[in-house]
Chains A and B, each alone.
Chain A
Amino acid sequence: MALEDYRADMERCSRCSFCKWIPLAHIKSWRFSRGCPSMEVGKFHAYSAGGRYAVALSLLEGRSSYTDKLLEVVYKCQMCGLCDVACKVCRYDLEPLEMMHELRARCVNDGQFLPQHVPIIDNLRKENNMMMKPKAKRGKWAEGLEVKDLTKEKAEVVFHAGCRLSYDEEQCKLARTAVTLLKNAGVDVGIMGKEEKCCGGRAYDMGYQEEFNRFAKMNIRAWTNAGVKTVVTACSDGYFTFKRLYPQAGSNFEVVHIVEFIDRLIKEGKIRFTKTIPMKVTYHDPCHLGRQGEPYVPWKGVERKIRAQIKIHEPRKPRYNGAWGIYDPPRNVLKSIPGLELVEMERVREYAWCCGAGGGVRQAYPDFSSWTAGERTEEAKATGAEAIVSACPWCERNFIDAINMNGGKMKVYDIVELVQQAI
Chain B
Amino acid sequence: MVPFKELPKDAYQALEDIVDSENISQDPAILDSYAFSLNGELVSRDGSKFMPRPAAAILPGSTEEVQAIVRVCNRYKIKFKAFSAGWAFVGIAAPFEEGMLQIDLRRMDKILEIDEKNMFAVVEPYVIGTTLQAEAMKLGLNTHLIGAGSNCSPLASACAGAGPGGDTIFMGYSPQNLLALEWVMPTGEILRTGALGSGCGWFCGEGPGPSTRGAFRGMQGSSGGLGVFTKCALKLYPWPGPAVMPVEGTVPAYNSPLPDNFSAYTVAFPGWDAYFEANYKLFNAEIAYNAYKQYILFGEELQAAMVRILTDPTKQLDDLEELLKKPEIQKLTEKMRRSFQIILAGMTPRDKEYKEKALDEILASTGGHKVPELSEPLMRNWTLLYLMRLCFKNINYVWGGYIGGFVHGGTPDFAKSWYPLAIELKRKFLKEKRGLVDGGADTLVCALGSIGGGGGASAEQFTQYDPTDPESVKVALEFLASSRKVGREHKLGGGLLDWHPLYKEKMQQVLSAASRPAIFHWQGKIKRAFDPNDLGDTSWPYLEESKK
Query: Which chain A positions have C-beta within 8 A of B347?
Result: none
Known: A11-B49, A89-B394. A44 touches B57 (CB 8 A): yes
A73 touches B29 (CB 8 A): yes
Query: Which chain A positions have C-beta within 8 A of B256?
Result: 25
B396 touches A14 (CB 8 A): yes
In the complex the two chains form, what is the Cα distance from A368 to B95 in whole Å? 31
Of A45, A54, A89, the contact of B252 (CB 8 Å cutoff): A89
B394 touches A14 (CB 8 A): no
Query: Which chain B positions have C-beta within 8 A of A62?
Result: 1-2
Query: Which chain A positions have C-beta within 8 A of B439?
Result: 307
B302 within 8 A of A: yes
A321 within 8 A of B: yes
Of B59, B104, B465, the contact of A309 (CB 8 Å cutoff): B465
Interface string of A55-86 (1 = CB under 8 A from B): 10111011111010110010000000000010
Query: Which chain A positions have C-beta within 8 A of B450?
Result: none
Known: A17-B87, A63-B2, A312-B320. A28 touches B59 (CB 8 A): no
Min CB–CB distance A379 → chain B (angstroms): 15
A382 within 8 A of B: no
The segment out of B127-135, B277-285, B351-359, B495-503 that lies at the interface is B127-135
Query: Which chain B positions have C-beta within 8 A of A410?
Result: none
A374 within 8 A of B: no
Interface string of A358-383 (1 = CB under 8 A from B): 00000000000000000000000000
A308 touches B434 (CB 8 A): yes
B38 touches A309 (CB 8 A): no
Of A10, A28, A315, A319, the contact of B316 (CB 8 Å cutoff): A319
Give the residue name and chain of the B residue nearest to A7 (CB).
B468
Tally of A interface residues using CB under 8 Å: 67
Which of B29, B318, B438 is most buried by chain A, counting CB atoms within 10 A of its CB? Answer: B29
Q: Which of B10-46 contact A (CB under 8 A)?
A: 22-23, 25, 27-30, 32-38, 41
In the complex the two chains form, what is the Cα distance from A328 to B75 in whole Å? 60
A246 within 8 A of B: no
Query: Which chain A positions have C-beta within 8 A of B151?
Result: 16-18, 21, 24
Query: Which chain A positions have C-beta within 8 A of B247?
Result: 25-26
Of A26, A61, A91, the contact of B397 (CB 8 Å cutoff): A91
Known: A25-B385, A311-B466. A58 touches B28 (CB 8 A): yes
B251 touches A12 (CB 8 A): no
B30 touches A30 (CB 8 A): no
Q: Which of A110-148 contact B (CB under 8 A)?
A: none
Min CB–CB distance B151 → chain A (angstroms): 6
In the complex the two chains form, what is the Cα distance from A308 to B320 in whole Å? 13
Known: A11-B468, A23-B251, A33-B130. A17 touches B29 (CB 8 A): no
Give the residue name and chain of the A residue nearest to B4 (CB).
A63
Query: Which chain B positions have C-beta within 8 A of A92?
Result: 316-317, 398
B63 within 8 A of A: no
Query: Which chain B positions have C-beta within 8 A of A13?
Result: 36, 38
B461 within 8 A of A: no
Give the residue name and chain of the B residue nearest to A317 (CB).
B318
In the complex the two chains form, what is the Cα distance from A46 to B28 in whole Å? 11
Known: A30-B111, A92-B398. A55 touches B134 (CB 8 A): no
Give the number of residue pairs across the A-B interface with Cβ within 8 Å: 223
In the complex the two chains form, what is the Cα distance from A137 to B28 in whole Å? 46
Interface string of B309-344 (1 = CB under 8 A from A): 000010011111100000000000000000000000
Min CB–CB distance A138 → chain B (angstroms): 38
A1 within 8 A of B: no
Query: Which chain B positions have C-beta within 8 A of A350?
Result: 251
In the complex the two chains form, what is the Cα distance from A323 to B250 in whole Å? 6
Query: Which chain B positions have C-beta within 8 A of A7?
Result: 468
Query: Which chain B positions have C-beta within 8 A of A29?
Result: 131, 134-135
Known: A14-B397, A306-B320, A317-B318. A8 touches B252 (CB 8 A): no
A44 touches B59 (CB 8 A): yes
Known: A15-B38, A16-B151, A321-B252. A90 touches B86 (CB 8 A): no
B275 within 8 A of A: no
A316 touches B29 (CB 8 A): no
A25 touches B389 (CB 8 A): yes
A411 within 8 A of B: no
Query: Which chain A positions have C-beta within 8 A of B254?
Result: 23, 25-26, 89
A313 within 8 A of B: yes
Min CB–CB distance A146 → chain B (angstroms): 43
B251 touches A64 (CB 8 A): no
Min CB–CB distance B530 → chain A (angstroms): 28
B164 within 8 A of A: no
A93 within 8 A of B: yes
A27 within 8 A of B: yes
Min CB–CB distance B510 → chain A (angstroms): 26
Query: Which chain A positions have C-beta within 8 A of B99?
Result: none
B104 touches A44 (CB 8 A): yes
A43 touches B251 (CB 8 A): no
A27 touches B130 (CB 8 A): yes
B437 touches A307 (CB 8 A): yes
Give the residue name and chain of the B residue nearest to A54 (CB).
B36
A16 touches B393 (CB 8 A): yes
Min CB–CB distance B250 → chain A (angstroms): 5
Q: Which of A23-52 contact B (CB under 8 A)?
A: 23-30, 33, 43-46, 50-51
B160 within 8 A of A: no
Give the residue name and chain of the B residue nearest to A11 (CB).
B468
Known: A63-B50, A309-B399, A317-B318. A54 touches B434 (CB 8 A): no
In the complex the two chains form, what is the Cα distance from A7 to B251 in whole Å? 26
A90 touches B29 (CB 8 A): no
Interface string of B395-412 (1 = CB under 8 A from A): 111111100000000000
Query: Which chain B positions have C-beta within 8 A of A44?
Result: 25, 30, 33, 57, 59, 104
B472 within 8 A of A: yes
Query: Which chain A positions have C-beta within 8 A of B437?
Result: 307-310
Give me the 5 closest cross-chain CB pairs, A-B, nearest first: A54-B36, A90-B394, A58-B32, A69-B27, A46-B33
Give 12 A-B pairs besides A65-B28, A93-B399 with Cβ atoms closer than 8 angstroms: A17-B151, A23-B251, A24-B150, A30-B135, A58-B28, A69-B29, A73-B30, A90-B252, A92-B316, A93-B398, A311-B399, A312-B317
Question: Footprint of A on B, CB under 8 Å?
Answer: 1-2, 22-23, 25, 27-30, 32-38, 41, 48-50, 53, 57, 59, 85-87, 104, 106-107, 111, 127-128, 130-132, 134-135, 149-151, 244-245, 247, 250-252, 254, 256, 302, 313, 316-321, 385, 389-390, 393-401, 430, 434-439, 464-469, 472
Question: Footprint of B on A, CB under 8 Å?
Answer: 7-8, 10-18, 21, 23-30, 33, 43-46, 50-51, 53-55, 57-59, 61-65, 67, 69-70, 73, 85, 88-93, 305-313, 315-317, 319, 321-323, 350-351
Write 9 A-B pairs (CB below 8 A) sorted by A numbering.
A11-B41, A30-B131, A33-B130, A45-B104, A64-B1, A69-B25, A91-B398, A92-B316, A309-B466
